[in-house]
A and B are shown apart, each in its own frame.
Chain A
């Protein structure tokens, strides 16, 4: 389990308090251009990114990478940028973080004109201050050795009569609310407009109520494969790459149900005022080339965000990616703008709902 993440979060909290003081002290007198300080989500993803992007880039340019893992969120980035001395050069971010960081001036604007023709990127995958590097997805998975007649649709996840047993879900209203509405019969395209209304929220909570007693809540992305392996749950919400990684690396009989997957992009961004911003920008340009992007699925089941790269991916690997046509039924793109606007309101109700026994 990647419990260290929680510890890091605690560190992050301390850092927020101390960053304005520590950052200037920690800054070396001379900037080292030959090293990039990169922050990613760690674990299986970091290992994959290292093999697909970092090591080849080091071979080509001699630039070394100093890797650090975090659990998302903008607190440390904001603390560093406000202190005027970010020690990170490159950050791997979720959509809502990348969007908010760009709006708040925490990320440097990117000069995408220098990166050649980017028109084959999936719409919305090239932002003002960040560029998408892969598509990942929230799905649910079950253990085939426990459920021979496995669930096939999202409605089955919410059906505790036909599929009794505990379900793992992330302790966060994101995706939980969307899924509740879809399982209740709302077409994916109408989910967010409905969720913005009181009535839609009531409906989502009512649907979640039907399985509330059976839910085990998790927080870090490494937990759900563990819960499944331990037999603590019969099925669980999870990130697709982690489940496939557990299935491939450890031979677990995990099966992914792709119905109503909620997909999102993962981005590269450069902190405002980063010391090695130029090298970081060069790296982003390198890592956005189709032939480089096409390497990632060899190491983890996340999809490249551009057409030309998908064409280059080994056909055998394509079927496991979130973007494979047979996996893409009913798929919903996580609406980061919606969640930045409504997270506080919905989360407040979600927390109260959680605490009610």
Chain B
């Protein structure tokens, strides 16, 4: 029998090869058409808004936008001694115009970010401004003596600069010192770096616990007879389909001091005092592990399903101890699943929010909770953007590390 000609490229007529390539191009072009709606959707609802929020971490247009004249004056001022004389009338006239345009609120909020009381100073001054004045400097100082402080004007000068590194620094618990140069905040004022470290630590712990609990389950699912494994699979899948909130609340009911678990333990006489299982790190880890476990199990299972039992049998028939055969033959083959599962669990855990809020205690606040607070309560979208940026950067960094170690092409799921 002769071999089919396609396996011998040299024998293919050049024109035939071109036609083949043309056909392939045509096909992939049509395939691209099918993806366009998804790409457009992602671009519009995900990439553009996310990019916009991240860009806010650098933009500082409140003061320059509402008070352009004052901003120009301040940008020219070197920040030493008192500001130039034209700064005072500019401040007065633009305080009024910004108040009329409803822009004073955002300017005041921006300044309050540097120093509490700036907001009330701005509003107090705007309320008490006279129509006319001969000497605006004296008038302003008359309204509030703080207008005679160099520091207040230096803060205004900082707010007049856009882009600003302020949010990015604050998100790292650092700031530009009043004398210039960087300084890190003392420990009693640092919240974001510890929160980020805590987030990474909790996510790593959850990944490890999920791996330890999930690996044997996945092995069982992959190696049991079909009927039994299907039934067991339901136990993994049903929680996976259940709402995250329902599961979190269920844990709250189970773990609370008078909850099912503690009542059971005390009535069995195993403990005399109810264990504190909730409103602390234990509660967070239990809740998050339960929610993340199906991701780990399914990722490992899908890889294990493809491992032929023949290799293990071969190893044992050649005299390997079952443990050795498992460690040297089976485990390495299942590693892509372990990598994929750990990656998924870790990355999903980084953004966790509801479970630590409900089951956690005082010291379990994760970075997403702080981002949500800045977004929803404080309306400081610049700081929220900066915090998100670091979270995105860290996730990307972790992705590359993972890709280097395991290879993203080996990530399989389901």
Binding site for B on A (CB under 8 A): 1, 3-4, 6-7, 9-10, 12-13, 16-18, 20-22, 71-75, 78, 100, 102-105, 166, 171, 196, 212, 215-217, 219, 230-232, 272, 337, 340-345, 347-349, 351-352, 354-357
Closest Cβ neighbor of B106 among chain A residues: A104
Contact between B378 and A343, CB atoms less than 8 A apart? yes
Pick from A10, A171, A217: contact of B354, CB below 8 A. A10
Contact between A18 and B49, CB atoms less than 8 A apart? yes
How far does the Cβ of B114 sit from chain A's closest Cβ, in whole Å? 10
The CB with the most chain A CB atoms within 10 A, among B49, B50, B106, is that of B49
User: Once the chains are docked, how many angstroms separate the CA of A349 from the CA of B186?
Assistant: 11
Answer whether residue B235 sits at the interface, using C-beta atoms and an 8 A cutoff. Answer: no
Answer whether residue B372 sits at the interface, using C-beta atoms and an 8 A cutoff. Answer: yes
Contact between A6 and B53, CB atoms less than 8 A apart? no
Contact between B249 and A1, CB atoms less than 8 A apart? yes
Q: List 24 A-B contacts (CB under 8 A).
A: A3-B248, A6-B245, A6-B353, A6-B358, A10-B354, A13-B371, A17-B52, A17-B53, A18-B49, A73-B377, A75-B376, A104-B106, A105-B101, A105-B105, A212-B362, A219-B358, A231-B257, A232-B258, A272-B102, A341-B120, A348-B191, A351-B191, A354-B363, A357-B363
Contact between A73 and B376, CB atoms less than 8 A apart? yes
In addition to A230-B259, A352-B187, A352-B189, 10 A-B residue pairs with Cβ atoms within 8 Å of each other are A4-B245, A10-B354, A17-B50, A18-B45, A72-B377, A104-B109, A216-B279, A272-B102, A352-B194, A357-B363
Given contacts A1-B249, A17-B53, A232-B256, contact A103 B191 (CB under 8 A): no
Contacts of B380 in A (CB 8 A): 344
Answer whether residue B165 sits at the interface, using C-beta atoms and an 8 A cutoff. Answer: no
Contacts of A4 in B (CB 8 A): 245
Contact between B279 and A217, CB atoms less than 8 A apart? yes
Chain B, range 92-116, C-beta contacts under 8 Å to A: 101-106, 108-109, 112-113, 116
Answer whether residue B157 sits at the interface, using C-beta atoms and an 8 A cutoff. Answer: no
User: Once the chains are docked, how many angstroms separate the CA of A171 from the CA of B109?
Assistant: 23
Contact between B363 and A104, CB atoms less than 8 A apart? no
Given contacts A13-B375, A103-B123, A105-B102, contact A355 B365 (CB under 8 A): yes
User: Once the chains are docked, how many angstroms separate the CA of A75 from the CA of B361?
Assistant: 26
Contacts of B187 in A (CB 8 A): 352
Pick from A100, A342, A345, A354: contact of B105, CB below 8 A. A100
User: Once the chains are docked, how many angstroms separate the CA of A342 from the CA of B115?
Assistant: 9
Contact between B357 and A6, CB atoms less than 8 A apart? yes
Contact between B249 and A21, CB atoms less than 8 A apart? no
Contacts of B113 in A (CB 8 A): 344
Contacts of B134 in A (CB 8 A): none
How far does the Cβ of B113 sit from chain A's closest Cβ, in whole Å? 7
How far does the Cβ of B349 sit from chain A's closest Cβ, in whole Å? 15
Contact between B362 and A215, CB atoms less than 8 A apart? yes
Answer whether residue B48 sits at the interface, using C-beta atoms and an 8 A cutoff. Answer: yes
How far does the Cβ of B370 sit from chain A's closest Cβ, in whole Å? 7
Contact between A17 and B363, CB atoms less than 8 A apart? no
Given contacts A74-B379, A232-B258, A351-B370, contact A21 B190 (CB under 8 A): no
How far does the Cβ of B37 sit from chain A's closest Cβ, in whole Å? 15
Closest Cβ neighbor of A77 among chain B residues: B379
Answer whether residue B117 sits at the interface, using C-beta atoms and an 8 A cutoff. Answer: yes
Interface of B is mostly: helix
How far does the Cβ of A212 sit from chain B's closest Cβ, in whole Å? 8
How far does the Cβ of B348 sit from chain A's closest Cβ, in whole Å? 14
Closest Cβ neighbor of A168 among chain B residues: B279
Given contacts A75-B375, A217-B279, contact A349 B189 (CB under 8 A): yes
Contact between B50 and A342, CB atoms less than 8 A apart? no
User: Once the chains are docked, how many angstroms separate the CA of A103 from the CA of B109?
Assistant: 10
Contacts of A342 in B (CB 8 A): 116-117
Contact between B105 and A104, CB atoms less than 8 A apart? yes
Given contacts A21-B45, A104-B106, contact A219 B357 (CB under 8 A): yes
Contact between B109 and A354, CB atoms less than 8 A apart? no
Contact between B362 and A171, CB atoms less than 8 A apart? yes
Answer whether residue B131 sits at the interface, using C-beta atoms and an 8 A cutoff. Answer: no
How far does the Cβ of A127 sit from chain B's closest Cβ, in whole Å? 14
User: Once the chains are docked, how many angstroms separate the CA of A342 from the CA of B375?
Assistant: 17
How far does the Cβ of B281 sit from chain A's closest Cβ, in whole Å? 10
Contact between A341 and B116, CB atoms less than 8 A apart? yes
User: Once the chains are docked, how many angstroms separate the CA of A208 from the CA of B361?
Assistant: 16
Closest Cβ neighbor of B198 among chain A residues: A355
User: Once the chains are docked, how many angstroms separate the CA of A252 from the CA of B245?
Assistant: 26
User: Once the chains are docked, how many angstroms separate the CA of A272 from the CA of B105?
Assistant: 14
Chain B, range 352-397, C-beta contacts under 8 Å to A: 353-354, 357-358, 361-363, 365, 370-373, 375-381
Given contacts A344-B116, A344-B378, contact A349 B108 (CB under 8 A): no
Answer whether residue B119 sits at the interface, using C-beta atoms and an 8 A cutoff. Answer: yes
Contacts of A343 in B (CB 8 A): 378
How far does the Cβ of B154 sit from chain A's closest Cβ, in whole Å? 18
Answer whether residue B44 sits at the interface, using C-beta atoms and an 8 A cutoff. Answer: yes
Contact between B108 and A103, CB atoms less than 8 A apart? yes
User: Once the chains are docked, how many angstroms separate the CA of A230 from the CA of B198?
Assistant: 29
How far does the Cβ of A143 sit from chain B's closest Cβ, in whole Å? 12
Pick from A13, A341, A349, A357: contact of B112, CB below 8 A. A341
3 pairs of A and B residues whose beta carbons are closest in the complex? A105-B102, A104-B105, A103-B105
User: Once the chains are docked, how many angstroms separate the CA of A103 from the CA of B100?
Assistant: 11
Closest Cβ neighbor of B258 among chain A residues: A231
Closest Cβ neighbor of A356 among chain B residues: B363
Contact between B116 and A10, CB atoms less than 8 A apart? no
User: Once the chains are docked, how many angstroms separate the CA of A356 from the CA of B352?
Assistant: 21
How far does the Cβ of B279 sit from chain A's closest Cβ, in whole Å? 5
Contacts of B120 in A (CB 8 A): 337, 341
Answer whether residue B226 sits at the interface, using C-beta atoms and an 8 A cutoff. Answer: no
Contacts of B135 in A (CB 8 A): none
User: Once the chains are docked, how many angstroms separate the CA of A260 from the CA of B69?
Assistant: 48
How far does the Cβ of B157 sit from chain A's closest Cβ, in whole Å? 20
Answer whether residue B409 sits at the interface, using C-beta atoms and an 8 A cutoff. Answer: no
How far does the Cβ of B121 sit from chain A's closest Cβ, in whole Å? 9
Contacts of A355 in B (CB 8 A): 191, 194-195, 198, 362-363, 365
Pick from B48, B53, B189: contact of A348, CB below 8 A. B189
